[in-house]
Copies of this chain bind each other. A is one copy, B any other.
């Protein structure tokens, strides 16, 4: 274990050794056999994020597919805690969720816990602000192409009649001791934060409550969120519900090369609502790790594994493996210099965001077809 690395929902710090994190969290690296099994059940196609190991670890996926193969279909639960405008990093679990919904014809529950970052006093956010951000996030999520009638989005403060009565049942099995170290909390943390994990646990068994029978649940999420479900699993099982299966992603790096793009650090982040010139400026400053001069770069080449530009293609903006390999090779060989490289990515992102904004405009007219309230 590298001692400088911190991975929890409230802090991600240091150089992440993902294999070590998986081991420490008790999740299993996704192997080729499981990839093939997902591909087969998905009808022969495998999402590039699983292919490339961006979603790299899992809990109980084998069991989930056993059930699926026995015609016991699962639903999917994911979410986003608003603390600022949505970033391209946030798209990752939603993109996989959208694909899973399509391939497995699954119902999707999306939680927007508008109280979570409000309760994190360091964020200095009002509940009114997180509420406003929640609706903006919901529009962006709907814009990604989730299915009407099979997708339910809810804000915690608008759905707490449903959530709280189930959250107390989970909470009864979770002690302060259990969460203290896991979340990096102290006795000086507020009681809202301490309770919150119970609210996040509810959608992992809510469909079972509603249907009066056990329904398997799959949670796609970034690895830092795993702790919520690691802690709640036993409590959920004691209530008589299935423990949720889950699939964990690595983090999209920040523009500076930091391990995780953070919604609260504008300089390190591309927001979905950034305008064209902002995107170009930010990408222009992104870390590539290229050599000091064009000549040296041409001679020695660069390292696509640390180059943020290459990684953005890999994580999201180039789904074709062959095209991605060409980009990586150009970086390695030194044939593509930073400026050119950045311009091409900026073009791609600008185009992506333009389309996203158009789809978001349409989504704003359909919000009530997705958002549920008590």
Contacts A175-B187, A179-B191 aside, 7 further interface pairs with beta carbons under 8 A come to: A118-B168, A119-B168, A156-B164, A157-B161, A160-B163, A161-B374, A163-B164
Assess whether B187 is in contact with A197, with CB atoms less than 8 Å apart: no
What distance in Å separates the Cβ of A372 from its nearest Cβ neighbour in chain B? 12
* Assembly stoichiometry (copies): 2
- Is A9 an interface residue when CB atoms closer than 8 A count as contact? no
Task: Determine whether A37 belongs to the interface, using a CB cutoff of 8 Å to chain B.
Answer: no
B198 touches A171 (CB 8 A): no
Are B187 and A177 in touch, CB under 8 angstroms? yes
Task: Say if the beta carbon of A121 comes within 8 Å of chain B.
Answer: yes
- Cβ-neighbour of A176 out of B118, B156, B188 (below 8 A): B188
| Chain B CB within 8 A of A195 CB | yes
A 154-166 binary contact with B (CB < 8 Å = 1; else 0)? 0011111101110
> Can you pick out 30 interface pairs between chain A and chain B where the beta carbons lie within 8 Å of each other?
A115-B164, A119-B172, A121-B172, A127-B168, A127-B169, A157-B161, A157-B168, A160-B163, A160-B165, A161-B161, A164-B164, A167-B192, A171-B190, A171-B191, A171-B192, A174-B190, A174-B192, A175-B188, A175-B189, A175-B190, A176-B176, A176-B190, A176-B191, A177-B188, A179-B191, A180-B187, A191-B194, A191-B197, A191-B198, A374-B374
Q: Is A53 an interface residue (CB 8 A)?
A: no
Chain A interface residues toward B at CB < 8 A = 115, 118-119, 121, 127, 156-161, 163-165, 167-169, 171-177, 179-180, 187-195, 197-198, 374
CA distance A190 to B119 in the complex (A): 19
Nearest-neighbour CB distance to chain B for A306, whole angstroms, equals 40
Q: Which of B161, B165, B194 contacts A194 (CB 8 A)?
A: B194
In the complex, what residues of B have CB within 8 A of residue A168's CB? 115, 118-119, 127, 157, 192
> Given B160, B173, B193, which contacts A190 in the complex, CB threshold below 8 Å?
B173
Q: Are A198 and B187 in contact (CB under 8 A)?
A: no
Asked if residues B197 and A172 are in contact (CB atoms below 8 Å), the reply is no
Q: Are B172 and A176 in contact (CB under 8 A)?
A: no
A168–B174 Cα distance when bound, in Å, is 19
| Contact between B174 and A191, CB atoms less than 8 A apart | yes
Closest to A173 in B: B190
Give the interface centre of A159, A161, A168, A169 by most chain B CB atoms within 10 Å.
A168
- Give chain B residues whose Cβ lies under 8 Å from the Cβ of A195: 171, 191-192, 194-195
Please indicate the chain B residues that have their CB under 8 angstroms from the CB of A163 in the complex.
160, 164
What is the minimal beta-carbon distance from A156 to any residue of chain B, in angstroms? Answer: 8
Q: Point out the residues of chain B lying under 8 angstroms from A121, CB to CB.
A: 172
A349 CB → nearest B CB, Å: 36
Q: Report, nearest first, the 5 A-B pairs whose CB atoms are least far apart.
A: A171-B192, A195-B195, A160-B164, A157-B165, A161-B161
Establish whether residues B176 and A194, one from each chain, have CB atoms under 8 Å apart when the complex forms. Answer: yes
Q: Are A189 and B176 in contact (CB under 8 A)?
A: yes
Q: Please name all residues of chain B whose beta carbon is closer than 8 Å to the beta carbon of A193 when the two chains form the complex.
A: 171
Q: A160-B161, A161-B158, A165-B127 are in contact. Are A172 and B190 (CB under 8 A)?
A: yes
Q: Which residues of B contact A187 (CB under 8 A)?
A: 175-177, 180, 187
**Among candidates B171, B174, B191, residue contacting A175 with C-beta atoms closer than 8 Å:** B191
Chain B residues near A115 (CB, 8 Å)?
164-165, 168
Residue among A167, A171, A177 facing the most chain B CB atoms (10 A cut-off): A171
Residues of B close to A173: CB separation below 8 A:
190
Which residues in B have their C-beta under 8 angstroms from that of A127?
A: 165, 168-169
The answer for the CA separation of A263 and B133 in the assembled complex, in Å, is: 46
Residues of B within 8 A of A119 (CB): 168, 171-172
Query: How far is the CB of A148 from the nearest CB of chain B, in Å?
Result: 25
